[in-house]
Amino acid sequence: MGDPAATEPLPFGTRDKQAAEVAVGEEAVLPLIAETVRIDKRAVETGRVRVSTRTETVDEVLRENLRSDMVGVTRVAINRTLAEGEVPPVVREEDGVTIIPVLEEILVVEKRLILREEVHVRQTTAGEDVEMPVTLRRQHAVIERVSPEGHVTAVSPAPPPEIEP
């Protein structure tokens, strides 16, 4: 059949070398070989993400009740002379009407205080519904995944707009 050494596997590290024979009592030094492994890590760009914002305009009609206050002024002639030592009238309010006395001193043989008129101020409130068209702006983000070659591989859909009253 041939050489038996040709069919036997060679010991590790003795490739293409003949096995040495060692006689009894002789020493032989055998080199020991061991393999080691090292793992390195490195960053590899597999793509990019692009985020941009888009601004939309939405036309809406605002509805609100506006309140306005109106003042009506009425002059009431009094023409009454105040008695000696009588306390002059002061600003007062009666039934929601503010009354402001208007006094005048006149010179006669004697000085008298005469109440010429009163100014009555009445306040009324009215409401009015108004509608005003306005333009509102709203932004949403568009996210695109871009491959290293620069091709857009995925686009995230924009969420449906939420309209708040």
Residue 147 in 3-state DSSP? coil
- Per the model's pLDDT, the better-predicted residue between 88 and 156 turns out to be 88
pLDDT at res. 48: 86
Q: What six digits make up the tokens of 130?
A: 């108004």
pLDDT at res. 78: 92
Q: Decide if 52 contacts 141 (C-beta within 8 A).
A: yes
Q: Check whether 3 has a pLDDT greater than 60.
A: no
pLDDT at res. 11: 55
For residue range 53-110, list pLDDT tens digits in order. Answer: 888 998 999 999 999 988 999 999 998 888 888 999 999 999 989 999 999 988 767 7
Nearest to 101 by CA among 112, 84, 83, 113: 113
Q: Check whether 4 has a pLDDT greater than 70.
A: no
pLDDT at res. 142: 82
Residue listed under structure tokens 């008298």: 112
For residue range 5-45, list pLDDT tens digits in order. Answer: 445 555 555 555 566 677 888 888 878 888 888 888 888 88
Q: Decide if 128 contacts 66 (C-beta within 8 A).
A: yes
For residue range 114-143, list pLDDT tens digits in order. Answer: 898 988 888 888 888 889 898 888 888 888
